[in-house]
Amino acid sequence: MAEMYDVIIIGAGPAGLAAGLYAGRSRLKTLIIEKGQDGGQIAITNEIENYPGAMLEGESGPSLIKRMTEQVAKFGADRVSDMVKSVDLKGDVKKIECSKGTYESKAVIIATGCFPKPIGCKNEGQYVGKGISFCATCDANFYQDLEVYVVGGGDSAVEEAMYLTGFARHVTIIHRRDELRAAKSIQEKAFKNEKLSFMWDTVVDEVGGDEIMQYMIVKNVKTGETKRIEADPDDGIFGLFGFIGYNANSELFKGVIDMDEGGNILTDENMHTNIPGVFAAGDIRKKSLKQVVTAAADGAIAAMQAEKFINA
Ligand code: NAP
C-alpha cells in the first residue's frame, strides 16, 4: 500500500519550496515531487534583484533556489524525483500516480509553474538546441563572440538579452512592437548597453539551415517587408533566444480543476481550487503578478490552508 502523506506538493519551484517549508514547520507529513531540478523558471534565470533580501553579490536564480532547498530540507519534507503521470484528486484520499510509484495524501498543492512559449516561427522545432534556445543561463556559453537575437519585449527578454551581451559579440532584441513591455528600470539599463540593439515592429517568420540554424526570415509587421538574416560565414551559426512569456504546466489537471483558457488554475485568495483539499500556488495560478515573491507567498498560504483542511 502507498505511504499516506498529509500533503503532497507537486513542483519544487519557489511556490512548492515555500509550501514545503511551511508544511514541514507545521509538522505535516509532507512529500515534494519534482521531475527535474528545483527552481522552475528561476533555476534558469541569471539575475535576481527584486526578491526581498536577495542582495548578495552575484545572487542568481540557482543560488537563491539552493538556499531555499536547503531551508526546506531542515524541516523534514520528504523529496522524490519523479514524473507525475495522472492524478485522482476527487476523493478524501488524493492519489498521484508517477513513473516510479503512486503516492497518496489528504491534501495536494499544485505548484507546477509554467514553461516557455515557443517563438512560433516556421521550422522552429528542428532547430531547438541547434541555434534556438529558451535559457540564457544554460546556453549563453555556446554563443561566445557570436551574433545573438532575442525575441520578446518583456522583463525576461530584456534582462536575459543584457546577460547575453556578456558572451555574444552583439545582441539584437526583436520585438513585435515599437515599445518595450519591460519595467522602466530594466529598460534604462538596456538602452545604455552598447552591445545591445533593437529591431522594432518585427517578428521571426522562419528559421532554416542544414544541421544547425544558419538563417532566419524576419518580417516588419507594419510594412510587411521581409528580410533574410544569414549567419556570418566565419561563425556558421547565430543564436536565437525566445522570451515571449510562458504557458501554464496544467495539462494533467484539465477537466478536473477549473482553469482559464490559458490553462492558469483558478483559486480563491487562499489558494483553494474548486476541489476540496486541492490547492494551487505560484505561476500555475491565474493572478496579476507572477514573481518569485508572489510564488513564495502563495506557497506559504497554500500550506497553511492545507493544514487547516486536514485538521478540520
Ligand atoms: P511577458 O511580460 O508576458 O512579456 C512577453 C513579451 O513577449 C511581450 O513583450 C510580448 O509582446 C512578447 N510576445 C508575446 N507573444 C509574442 C509572440 N507570439 N511573438 C512575438 N512576441 C511576443 O513575459 P516575460 O517577460 O517572460 O515575463 C513573465 C512574467 O515574469 C512577467 O510578469 C514579468 O514581469 C515577470 N518577470 C519579472 C522579472 C523581474 O522582475 N526581474 C524578470 C523576468 C520576468 P507585447 O509587449 O507586444 O505584448
So what's the pLDDT on residue 241? 98
| Alpha carbon distance 40, 21 (integer Å) | 17
pTM of the shown model: 0.85
Nearest residue (CA) to ligand 1, atom 14: 244
Which residue is catalytic, options 38, 82, 139, 298? Answer: 139
CATH of 4-116+247-311, one of 1.10.1270.20, 3.40.50.2300, 3.50.50.60, 1.10.10.10: 3.50.50.60
Report whether pLDDT(128) > 80. yes
Rounded distance from Cα 105 to ligand 1 centre (Å)? 36
User: 151-173: per-residue pLDDT in tens?
Assistant: 999 999 999 999 999 999 999 99
| Alpha carbon distance 204, 116 (integer Å) | 16
Nearest residue (CA) to ligand 1, atom 39: 155
Closest CA to 276 of 89, 99, 149, 86: 89
So what's the pLDDT on residue 1? 65
Rounded distance from Cα 243 to ligand 1 centre (Å)? 7
Average pLDDT score over residue span 51-80:
91
Angstrom CA distances, 296 to 29, 95, 299, stand at 20, 25, 5
CB 273 within 8 A of CB 110: yes
Which residue is catalytic, options 135, 201, 235, 258? Answer: 135
Q: Which residues contact 13 (CB under 8 A, 6 or more apart)?
A: 38, 39, 40, 41, 42, 43, 111, 113, 282, 283, 295
Nearest residue (CA) to ligand 1, atom 37: 155
So what's the pLDDT on residue 53? 86
Rounded distance from Cα 233 to ligand 1 centre (Å)? 32
Average pLDDT score over residue span 42-63:
83
User: 205-215: per-residue pLDDT in tens?
Assistant: 999 999 999 99
Nearest residue (CA) to ligand 1, atom 31: 290
- What stretch(es) of the chain map to CATH 3.50.50.60? 4-116+247-311, 124-242
Report whether pLDDT(46) > 80. no
Class of domain 124-242: alpha beta
